Structure 1
């Protein structure tokens, strides 16, 4: 090759590189603290989806990178992270958050700038019922999850007396309220219903009341970081009563924290066990290779949420004359799209951003091991 050819080749390569527009997506989730195991699944699941779609994005002239914000499962910190994402004009959308209590103020902070948020995991009805155009979610809501858990307590566990706890967060209290309402409608008696601060780890007083009231089941709306120690302290007192909750239990760390108490625990979850999703086999292998850890259900949901967001960015770019789209165009594209090639099946959104057909899973923990009890379809019009 002569010098002129080399010069032309370099110039062409340089021009191709300059033609690609660099944009970003962000994740907002707890990367430190007691919920960091789940939060890392959100971050890494999104990154894996981006890795898998890099080639398609590049063909559209988009060089997409991911920036991860740590919300520490704290509403104020999460809202500050949302404002940082808004301030970075290269960010076209957000995958997150983990906690509904963070999602509600964070999404409100992003709404005026039309920064789309695709939620993989937030179940509080308030997340979408506010009617914000920038918020869509791919999981079932707690007004479906709570009743499903309540039905399980009464129909499957045959419980007639139930002790109800919640962690005083929008997630835990909302879930417990819905479950309690369903259990009452099925004829169960609620022997006690109370809240306990999410930071509390000493359950001596509560366990004393449980010993006295002798419920057939305990429903605890909370997160694994708190429920694990509760289960251990309960079992250490010789109390084998079933503990039932929601997807906040859905972490391998629940079993670690519960130790010998990791038995007779049940939870509904919006995130599938990886082994129950045939389409996730390749993703799980790539996740292990990339992050040196195992893909979990929350990572599966985050992977799909990121694919929805990235596909919407591609769709918006095509509608924008194959140029990088605006945030408003991405916001509209997210809500209008039909998404296939996802691990959990097709996604379409209704008018407020809820997934029209979602799934819910009931998991049991027995002798420190998890198993799938059943799968439920949840439909919203």
Structure 2
């Protein structure tokens, strides 16, 4: 029998101890996510959540380390119901839960009041809300992942006058912070381009019958009707325009350029326009690859702003790695200075938290599909 010396026994024992030594424990990093996950805007919200979860899962698969410490991200998803009151309650729950960053909210009317809660807690908020007021409140925690209404509305206003040569333009909005905000910016740009707003009308974000409004504006013979609101209302408006014999182009913001508008409007969708902040996914190699991963995972196409939520999560992780910390006070300065090539666009922020450079893509419905008509800077 082979004898075991004291030294050999000691080395064997040490090897056993080393083999049994636990790996460094992961740091759990909570990230808040909020969008409307129920109601008529749930298709936007679910798209946003899918993309955010895809980013979290990809980061966790990489076994990411921050400051030499393994981290695992956990997405806390909440339905804010596109309601400012619910949204502020969600914001407070996120803060109480110890989230390190928030992806959301979707609606400007929710993001604007929620921003105060995140600012008081020092938690960065990365939102796709477009109303200019979101980043004009003076909160250094607010970051906008898309162009603002000032940029999108202005591009659409110039397009209506300079490209479509519309002499009679009607503006309708749903009185939400988003709808009214983008309609205001559109109207300003029309006037700045030498055009004229023939009439301004108002509805709400639950309406589906616009016959009275459209009948009232028909004598004005509008060439363009701008709608500030969502696809669920724009689609029946397009149908009713056709039924009433209104020979006008419907224009709107990013909430119109969706598969939902196409399916709900049917053969009434053709010839209408939408302006979205940023470029087209398929124009960017990383964007095209993202779309393929998204489709493979969720068995559906991207709806609208999910890619920006994906990019937002990736930027939070990149800023944490640069700062070597998951604490907002440490990584937020890195986020402020970050230059990041995302799947949706190239990101860098100005002092207010807005994008330094935001392209606007204007698309037209042709042959039942959204087709790029122009990209404006």
- Under a length normalisation based on structure 2, what TM-score does the superposition of the two structures give? 0.91
Contact kept? 2:278, 2:358, Cα under 8 Å: no
Q: What is the aligned partner in structure 1 of residue 355 from structure 2? A: 355
Identify the residue that residue 48 of structure 1 maps to in structure 2: 54
Distance 1:52 1:374 in 2: 33
Partners of 2:55 and 2:238 in 1: how far apart? 35
**How far is the alpha carbon of 1:8 from its aligned partner?**
4.2
2:89 to 70, 77, 80: 80
List runs of 5+ in structure 2 lacking aligned partners. 1-11
By how many angstroms is 1:271 displaced? 4.5
CA 1:310/1:6 → structure 2, altered by over 3 Å: closer, same or farther? same
Residue aligning to 2:247: 240
Contact 2:65 2:321 in 1 (8 A): no
Is 1:118 aligned to residue 126 of structure 2? yes
Quote the RMSD (CA, aligned, Å).
2.1
Aligned to 1:314: 321
Q: Residue 267 of structure 1: SS of its match in structure 2? A: strand
Shift of 1:247: 1.0
CA displacement at 1:182 relative to structure 2: 1.5
| Gapped regions of structure 1 (runs ≥ 5) | none
Which of 93, 98, 101 is residue 93 of structure 1 equivalent to?
101
1:171 aligns with 2:172: no
Deviation of the 1:128 alpha carbon: 0.6
The separation in 2 between residues aligned to 1:279 and 1:225, in whole angstroms, is 30
Within the candidate set 72, 88, 106, 2:114 is matched to 106
**Residues in 1 aligned to 2:136 and 2:18: alpha-carbon distance in whole angstroms:** 55
Mapping of residues 224-373 of structure 1, within 5 Å: 224-316=231-323, 318=324, 320=325, 325-340=326-341, 342-373=342-373
Considering only CA atoms, is the larger Rg found in Structure 1 or Structure 2?
2
Residue in structure 2 matching 1:180, options 179, 183, 187: 187
**TM-score scaled by structure 1?**
0.90
Aligned length: 364
Q: 1:39 aligns with which of 36, 42, 45?
A: 45
Equivalent residue number for residue 6 of structure 2: none
Classify the secondary structure of the residue corresponding to 2:100: strand
CA offsets, 1:125-169, max 9 Å, x none? 111111101111121111111111001101111100101111101
Q: Secondary structure at the match of 2:39?
A: coil
Per-residue CA deviation, residues 262-299 of structure 1 (Å, 9 max, x unaligned), is: 12210110144332333222211211122121124412
Partner of 1:190: 197
Determine the C-alpha separation between the residues in 1 that align with 2:260 and 2:304.
13
Q: Which moves more between the two structures, 213-222 or 276-285?
A: 276-285
Post-superposition offset of 1:343 = 1.5
d(CA) in 1 for partners of 2:278, 2:261: 15
Sort the Cα spacing of 1:19 and 1:372 in 2 relative to 1 into closer, same or farther, 3 A.
Answer: same
Three-state SS of the structure 2 residue aligned to 1:219 is strand
Check the 8 A contact 2:171/2:187 in 1, yes or no: yes
Bigger mean CA deviation after superposition, 154-163 or 270-279: 270-279
